[in-house]
Amino acid sequence: METFRNLLDPFPSQQSTFAANVDAIYYFIFWLSTFFFVIIVAMMCYFVVKYRRVEGQEPEKSPSHNTPLEVTWSVVPGILVLGIFWWGFTGYVDMRSPPAETYDINVTAQMWSWQFKYGTGAVDAELHVPVGTPVRLIMQSKDVIHSLFVPVFRVKQDVVPGRYSGLWFEAKEVGKFELFCTEYCGQKHSDMITKVVVHATDEANVTDEVPQTFDKWLEVASDPLEGGRIPLEQAGEKVIGMFGCLQCHSIDGSNKVGPSFKGHFGQQVQTRDGSVLMDENYIRESILEPNAKIRQGYDPKMPSFKGSMKDEWIDAVIAYIKSIQ
């Protein structure tokens, strides 16, 4: 029974401040619709049974129109939908009016990954936000139209190339939630999924699922090299995670959208128009100008990371790729 109820429960949990209002409007429309639907279907079934045809007998005369009745059933639904409109509209205005003080995060969408950039220089392929804080996303796309959708927050906004689009929300609880792309954006549209990680703002409230506070996470993410205290390869592995490189590249030698990181370093590899030595220079060029030399058998699908991947981070990535050969 419990599972059955779960199956029919139309919503994921409410994790943003406006989720409850959205659900209330949904349920209002739902019950109103159900009310009318049940009446309509019940009348239909009743008439079918009650007035079923008796051969050779014509139906008794009944009016072919009734103006007051018809005006009533035009006006009453009219008033009801006006109410629905009003509630939906005010809810929408709340969702589009961020408070004066927000924590701002820049978002770049590209086929088929997300990049979230923070004021400190931190970059990540997952969206990390502090709990209980209004967060504003300032979004842009590098290629086609994408759309950022977090079901538990009930928010969605298209990300259109050539302009910024905005979105705000305030997360209510610490946890990890799904973030989807909902505007069809080509081949791997359905893989353009990542997580929203809502962090606690003080140590007392961290959980097993999200063990760091937001400030701690930001500190580490802003400096994956940890001031040089950890080996460069290890830092490189972190950078690769932050940028979501593994969406398209593997570390076990298998081919995905792009060639694997493993098994090519130091070798001469085939490009569309010749060959190139896979060395430090080629890796750096591929990160900054991915379309300069395209590997044989692959499409020019990789976005450029110029401007978001710092030079020291590139060095770390190179060190990591070398280390897994």
Partner 1 sequence: MTSHVMPAHSDSHSSADNYLTASKGFLSWALTLDHKRIGLMYLIGTMTAMFIGGFLALLLRAEHLSGAPGFVNHDTYNQLFTLHGAIMVFLFIIPSIPGALGNFILPVMLGAKDVAFPRMNLCSFYLWVFGAIFFVGALLTTGLDTGWTFYTPYSTNTSQTNVVLATLGAFILGFSSIFTGLNFIVTIHTMRPPGMTWFRMPLFLWSLYATAIIQVLATPVLGITLLLLAAERMFGLGIFDPKLGGDPVLYQHFFWFYSHPAVYIMILPGMGIISELISTFSRKAIFGYRFIAFSSMAIALLGFLVWGHHMFASGQSEMITIVFSALTFSVSIPSAIKVFNWLATMYKGSIVLATPMCYALSFLFLFTIGGLTGLFLGALATDIHLHDTYFVVAHFHYVMMGGTLVAFVGGLFYWWPKMTGKMYNEFWGQISALIVFVAFNLTFFPQFVMGSRGMPRRYYNYLPEFQVYHVLSTIGAFLLGFGLLLAAVVLIVSLFKGRKAPANPWGAATLEWQCSSPPPLANFEKTPTVGNPYDMQSVVWDPDTESFVRRGDVPIVPDETEQPAHA
CA 243, CA 223: separation in Å to the nearest integer? 14
Give me the long-range contacts of 210-216 (CB less than 8 A, separation at least 24).
210/174, 210/175, 210/176, 214/128, 214/129, 214/130, 214/131
The number of beta carbons lying within 10 Å of the beta carbon of residue 311 is 9
* Residue 107 binds Cu ion (CB under 5 A): no
Whose CA is closest to 125, among 220, 189, 212, 221?
A: 221
Q: Which is nearer to Cu ion, 179 or 321 (CB)?
A: 179
* Residue 31 binds partner 1 (CB under 8 A): no
Q: Which is nearer to Cu ion, 117 or 293 (CB)?
A: 117
Supply 273's token pair.
């128009």
Supply 200's token pair.
């606690």
Q: Which is nearer to Cu ion, 146 or 238 (CB)?
A: 146
Please, what is the minimum distance in Å from the beta carbon of residue 138 to partner 1? 12
Subset of 186-215 contacting partner 1 (CB under 8 A): 186-191, 193
Non-local CB neighbours of 153 within 8 Å, separated by 6+ positions: 15, 16, 19, 169, 171, 177, 196
DSSP letter assigned to residue 137: E
Q: Which is nearer to partner 1, 155 or 232 (CB)?
A: 155
Please, what is the angle between helix 67-95 and helix 19-50, to 10°?
160
Subset of 184-203 contacting Cu ion (CB under 5 A): 185, 192
* Residue 301 binds Cu ion (CB under 5 A): no
Subset of 89-148 contacting partner 1 (CB under 8 A): 89-96, 111, 143-145, 147
CA 122, CA 239: separation in Å to the nearest integer? 10
Task: Figure out which of the listed residues 156, 262, 284, 322 binds partner 1, where binding follows CB under 8 A.
Answer: 156
The number of beta carbons lying within 10 Å of the beta carbon of residue 53 is 8
> Residue 168: what are its φ and ψ, rounded to 5°?
-140, 160
> Residue 320: what are its φ and ψ, rounded to 5°?
-65, -45
* Residue 51 binds partner 1 (CB under 8 A): yes
Instruction: Number of residues interacting with partner 1: please give it, by CB under 8 A.
Output: 88
User: Could you tell me whether strands 268-271 and 146-150 are parallel, antiparallel, or unpaired per DSSP bridges?
Assistant: unpaired
* Residue 245 binds Cu ion (CB under 5 A): no
Q: Which is nearer to Cu ion, 183 or 223 (CB)?
A: 183
99 binds, among partner 1, Cu ion, none (CB under 5 to 8 A by kind): none
Please, what is the minimum distance in Å from the beta carbon of residue 306 to Cu ion? 21
* Residue 160 binds partner 1 (CB under 8 A): yes
21 binds, among partner 1, Cu ion, none (CB under 5 to 8 A by kind): partner 1
* Residue 150 binds Cu ion (CB under 5 A): no
Subset of 64-83 contacting partner 1 (CB under 8 A): 64-67, 69-70, 73-74, 77-78, 81-82
- The span of 8-16, 53-61, 177-185, 251-259 binding Cu ion (CB under 5 A) equals 177-185
Binding site for Cu ion (CB under 5 A): 146, 181, 185, 192
